[in-house]
A = this chain, B = another copy of it.
Amino acid sequence: MDEDRTKGKLFVISGPSGAGKGTIVSRVREDLGPNRAVLSISMTTRGPRPGEEDGKQYFFVTKEDFCKKIQEGGLLEYAEVYGNYYGTPRSYVMENIENGRDVILEIDIQGALNVKKAFPEGILIFVAPPSLSVLRDRLTGRNTDAEDVIRLRLSKAVSELSHIPAYDYLIINDVLEEAVKKTESIFISEHMRVSESRMGRLMAEYEGE
């Protein structure tokens, strides 16, 4: 057992569409090794689509169950999108953390700020493209968005800059390899922080002799 990792941590990752969050997260998970970091699974009131399994892509629940979860304080954050509710179940996050696994939550700024309120130990990472022209190139290169959607995303990216000071870390994703290494260093170093539990274990080790 790695003495620095008896408990996991919650890492919350935000950033504009096209910043490269998804790629960075999957590369970091791969490099850290199996069972070191899991993705958070959202709870939703929308019905499963073909191929989707409960507890895999989402936890599928009724509106009543979702409301009950909110009232119990069982969600770290939630939002309504087109009449369906989506939220982050506290229990899934806590169980993984208790078992020594980091949890990664890819979420928008509003959600990230709500998570920080509900769970202040969460570590907020903002991933930003180095410039708007790089972001424009990436969005254009994906060939998934119409020109007006891209324009919207670009102006949203600018307006979101003002929220970065609420985050703990800022990764500027210029060269992917470097951005991955920088993000990994956050996942490693945050486990090196002085904490009561690490101190307690070290003292027990010293005093047991």
Q: Using CB atoms and an 8 Å cutoff, list the residues of chain A in contact with chain B.
A: 3-4, 126, 128, 130-133, 157-158, 161, 164-165, 167-172, 174, 181-182, 184-186, 188-190, 192-194, 198-199, 202-203, 205-207, 209
Chain B residues lying within 8 Å of A188, measured Cβ to Cβ, are 181-182, 185, 189
- Cβ B199 vs Cβ A164 within 8 A: yes
Which residue of B157, B172, B174, B182 contacts A189 across the interface (Cβ within 8 Å)?
Answer: B182
Chain B residues lying within 8 Å of A169, measured Cβ to Cβ, are 189, 192-194
Which residue of B184, B192, B193, B205 contacts A131 across the interface (Cβ within 8 Å)?
Answer: B205
Give bound CA distance, A192 to B178, whole Å. Answer: 12
Chain B residues lying within 8 Å of A192, measured Cβ to Cβ, are 169-171, 182, 185-186
- Cβ B170 vs Cβ A198 within 8 A: yes
Give bound CA distance, A181 to B184, whole Å. Answer: 11
Chain B residues lying within 8 Å of A4, measured Cβ to Cβ, are 172, 182
- Cβ B194 vs Cβ A167 within 8 A: yes
Chain B residues lying within 8 Å of A199, measured Cβ to Cβ, are 161, 164-165, 170
Chain B residues lying within 8 Å of A193, measured Cβ to Cβ, are 168-170
For residue A1, give the distance in angstroms from its CB to the closest CB of chain B.
12
Chain B residues lying within 8 Å of A168, measured Cβ to Cβ, are 193-194
A–B complex contacts, Cβ < 8 Å, 11 sampled: A4-B172, A131-B206, A132-B205, A132-B209, A158-B206, A168-B193, A170-B193, A185-B185, A185-B186, A185-B189, A188-B189
For residue A189, give the distance in angstroms from its CB to the closest CB of chain B.
4
- Cβ A194 vs Cβ B174 within 8 A: no
Chain B residues lying within 8 Å of A130, measured Cβ to Cβ, are 3, 205
Given A188-B185, A192-B171, A209–B133 Cβ distance below 8 Å?
Answer: yes
Give bound CA distance, A206 to B3, whole Å. Answer: 43
Chain B residues lying within 8 Å of A186, measured Cβ to Cβ, are 185, 189, 192
